[in-house]
Amino acid sequence: MPIMTAEQIDALMREVFPAMPEDFYRIEAVADHYVRVRMPYREDYLRPGGTLSGPSLMTLTDTVMYYAVLAMIGPQPLAVTTNLNINFMRRPEPADVIAECRLLKLGARLAVGEVSMYSEGKQDMVAHATCTYSIPPPDKR
């Protein structure tokens, strides 16, 4: 079961990342080994050609994975990304993007997850990613 709620994760993010914009992302669900986050549509996420940029989707991937890890291990802000692999499947709609992270493995030192991203209201995946996080040893927490 999750150790942290959406509200606790939000509070931790405001504490450790005080410059993070208020409307950055919204956590919509936290469950066992699962987090769903909404990235509100913003024109500054667009790239030439009018589609959402790859870096914005990579940031969303890393963030939802971080939230999923924290939900399960508790407030450990020193957990860090060790690998992120993303496949862009189709052009995202000019809409909010919903990211769902499922942790596939949660060990003492590593967490592995997959992230599926969708344009709001659409069934077809716009991107799929796998991500690995390093969990700090107890003496570094």
- Chain segment 23-59, per-residue pLDDT in tens: 889 999 999 999 999 999 998 888 888 889 999 999 9
CB 103 within 8 A of CB 34: yes
Quote the DSSP letter at residue 124. Answer: S
Residue 138: predicted pLDDT: 76
Query: How do the domains of the chain map onto residue ranges?
Result: 6-140
Q: How confident is the model at residue 139 (pLDDT cuts 50, 70, 90)?
A: low
Sheet holding 125-134, edge to edge: 26-31, 34-39, 97-106, 110-119, 125-134, 80-88
Q: Domain 6-140 classified CATH 3.40.50.800?
A: no
Quote the DSSP letter at residue 76. Answer: -
- Spatial distance between the Cα atoms of 13 and 32, rounded to a whole number of angstroms: 20
CB 135 within 8 A of CB 110: yes
Whether residue 130 has pLDDT greater than 70 = yes
Query: How does pLDDT run across 107-117, given as a tens digit for each residue?
Result: 999 999 999 99
Backbone angles phi, psi at 28, to 5 degrees: -100, -25
CB 117 within 8 A of CB 97: yes
The amino acid at residue 23 is D
Backbone angles phi, psi at 51, to 5 degrees: -110, 160
**pTM for the whole structure:** 0.94
